[in-house]
Amino acid sequence: MIRSLYDWTMNLAGHRHAGWALFFIAAIESSVFPIPPDILLIPMIIAAPTRAWRYALICLVGSVLGGLVGYGIGFFLFETVGQPVLELYGYANKFDQFRDYYNEWGAWAVFIAGITPFPYKVITILSGVTALDPVVFTLASILARGLRFFVIAALIWKFGPVIRDFIERRLGLVFTIFIVVLIGGFAAIKLIPHG
């Protein structure tokens, strides 16, 4: 099923309404859809490098708006929609233990999920369920998703198709390492005695 969704999404990249398709995929990926918009964003930028920043912006706006839909699902429709989505992605059983810590670290959770391979839709729904401050949620989403999509756009704009394999296979790992280093740096700063 995932493969057919992937193929369907890739076929959209060449369509004359690809920009709208990109917006739609970015929006629904943030709340329920399993395929990330990157797989549509990448071939679109390769095909039209001069539109790289426009496509990254479309992806960002769609993703943030879709994230707000995910937030709404968690806030208003958790039992009927949110819980089944979390079960689909295998996160329902971890939810209760995660919920206690979520609002303390919610902005970081949104930011980390926004740029790493972690399913962003899980975080958008959890943000709504735990009633994370919507302003904090939106700002963290803009920063994370903006960083992710504009870095991808910049890499493809600069290096073209050569970078495609790296992005599709390893960019998630690079972003994950970046987050680990970033959090490790903040932890180290807290541990250093202030005189």
The pLDDT tens digits along the chain (195 residues) read: 555 655 666 666 667 788 898 999 999 988 887 778 887 888 888 777 888 999 999 999 999 999 999 999 989 988 888 888 778 777 777 676 666 667 667 777 787 777 766 778 888 888 898 888 899 999 999 999 999 899 889 988 888 767 666 666 665 666 566 556 555 554 554 555 544
111 contacts 137 by C-beta, under 8 angstroms: no
Structure tokens given for 112: 């980390």
Q: What is the pLDDT of residue 3?
A: 57
Cα–Cα distance, 169 to 165 (Å, whole number):
6
Q: What is the pLDDT of residue 114?
A: 74
Tell me the three state secondary structure of residue 163: helix
CA distances from 83 to 11, 60, 63, 157 (A): 31, 26, 21, 39
The percent of the chain in helix, strand and coil, each rounded to the nearest 5, is: 85, 0, 15
Count of residues making up the chain: 195
